[in-house]
Structure 1
Amino acid sequence: MALSTEEKLLIETRVANEAPNAAAAYLLWFFLGWVSAHRFYLGRPGTAILQILSYFIIIGFVWWLIDVFLIPGMIRARQQQLREQYARTGL
């Protein structure tokens, strides 16, 4: 099913309005990173729980530092999920 330009524009508008905000993700990472709030916010509860559990060994802290570079990719992935969801459900 091919989407019209108008439907694509509507999908992009919804994605822009409903997708995670990068500033909010980084604030959550900085202030509440120890409870993996940024990963819950970005729709990744499974890895958030793993990250919390891994804090009991040093790996969790390293993972938390690496997340500062992974957040933009997680946001793009969530935006793509929203696009696909809206295209499937007819907006």
Structure 2
Amino acid sequence: MALSTQQQILIEQRVTNESKSVGAAYLLWFFLWFFSAHRFYLGRPGSAVLQILSFFIVIGFVWVIIDAFLIPGMVQQQKDEVRRRLSSDALINSAT
């Protein structure tokens, strides 16, 4: 059973409303990199704690630089998760 166009539009609106901002993630990365605030913001507390702990052995600084390139992908992944959740909810609700 496929979603109607109206359901798809509503899902995309909710994805836009619930998704994280790439700009906010970059601001957190730039100003609060030593707290791994961008990773906490993007819902990745496990890797944020690992990143904070790794700062003590210099790897963390390299990881922060790599995150500059990974942030857009992390935001897209979060949007995809929201989209998947909303689509399955819509399919379940339309089936009942």
Shorter-chain TM band: over 0.9
What 5-or-longer segments of structure 2 have no aligned partner? Answer: none
Alpha-carbon offset, residue 2 of structure 1: 1.5
The separation in 2 between residues aligned to 1:70 and 1:23, in whole angstroms, is 13
Runs of 4+ in 1 over 2 A off after TM superposition: none
The separation in 2 between residues aligned to 1:89 and 1:63, in whole angstroms, is 36
1:53 aligns with 2:53: yes
Q: Which amino acid letter does the alignment assign opposite residue 75 of structure 1?
A: V
Output the TM-score relative to the length of structure 2: 0.90
Query: What is the aligned partner in structure 2 of residue 70 from structure 1?
Result: 70
1:80 aligns with 2:80: yes
What 5-or-longer segments of structure 1 have no aligned partner? Answer: none
The separation in 1 between residues aligned to 2:3 and 2:59, in whole angstroms, is 45
> C-alpha root-mean-square deviation of aligned residues, in Å?
1.2
The superposition leaves residues 6-54 of structure 1 with CA deviations (integer Å, 9 ceiling, x where unpaired) of 1111111011111000110000000111111000111111111111111
The separation in 1 between residues aligned to 2:45 and 2:2, in whole angstroms, is 33
Flag the structure with higher helix content. Answer: 2
Alignment of 1:1-91 (within 5 A): 1-90=1-90
Equivalent pairs, count:
91
The separation in 1 between residues aligned to 2:41 and 2:85, in whole angstroms, is 18
**Equivalent pairs: percent with the same residue?**
59
